[in-house]
Chains A and B, each alone.
Chain A
Amino acid sequence: MKRIAGIALGVAAALSLVVTSLATYAANAPNAGVAVRVFAGDVPAGFDYQVITDGGQSPASA
């Protein structure tokens, strides 16, 4: 029974890999900006959006 459960879990993990990842590199002055958005899988699930308009570097993930 444990074998079957283990194999079923493995199959499920291999067939349902729905991920998003995102990284942003922000502007270095007030007059600069960046925006990033990613999605994967069923929209809008996994949807993310980020806008950076001031200084600093802001990696992020979703």
Chain B
Amino acid sequence: MTRGSAAAQAQAQADALSGALRVKANSNVGANVYVVGRNSGATASASTSGDIIVSGSALPGLATFTAVLDGTYSVATPAPSDRENADNKVDVQYSLNLGGSREFNDRFILLCCSPGTFSIPFTWTQVVTVGDVLFFSLFLRTDVTTVAGTATVDMTNTFKITGVGLPAGMSYNRDAGGFLSQFGGAVTPPDTAVIPLPASLWLFTAALGIFAVGLRRRRRDA
């Protein structure tokens, strides 16, 4: 039996119709020191891709595509282990293609002990012609692990395409999968109400109840 508490959650959403990904993960070990076998972790990833077909009757011109990756994170390890340690971390990886762009990609690891935010903008400009088929793809993954304390990352708001700027007189048609057919429309956030309440809370509550009953009986017997 492993002493202490450990819990993890992960969620991911890929919305091809609006060109957005949402990923969130957290892990928690209710302890301040490492014990072999006591750990928790979560991985969440999402991806989407598709084409748009440039239409209209304009001459070739410059198009600009933009995207952004926003997130918040926290890696908190209680004393005496409150220092940077790869056992408690948030790991983020992403890749992105905008039209005919090179692949934007990176990986970064966030360690103890200050929470923070990140916002990474992307811009790509290229010449487009009516009839062009432009490829877009987004991939986002996070891994969180802890042996003591908590590690959380929230990118549910969001990794998304923010701009499809075509020259005047041009528009685009969606591909068969409907990619970007709802671009710029209302985005439905994840239904967090369906996330199961961590069972540890229920167990802890049950344990407290048992203690209370025990104490009450002890007082009554005395």
> Beyond A15-B4, A16-B1, is A29–B17 a contact (Cβ under 8 Å)?
yes
The chain B residues found within 8 Å of chain A, CB to CB, are: 1-17, 22, 25, 27, 30, 37-50, 175, 177-179, 190-191, 194-200, 203-204, 206-208, 210-211, 213-214, 217-218, 221
B9 CB to nearest A CB, Å: 5
A interface with B by C-beta (< 8 Å): 2-3, 6-7, 9-43, 57, 59, 61
B198 CB contacts on chain A under 8 angstroms:
19, 21
Most buried by B among A25, A31, A36, A61: A25
Note all chain A residues with C-beta closer than 8 A to B204: 13-14, 17
B221 partner residues in chain A, CB cutoff 8 A: 3
State the majority secondary structure of interface residues on A: mixed
Q: Return the 5 tightest CB-CB contacts between A and B, nearest first.
A: A29-B16, A10-B210, A32-B14, A32-B48, A25-B13
| CB atoms of A41 and B207 under 8 A apart | no
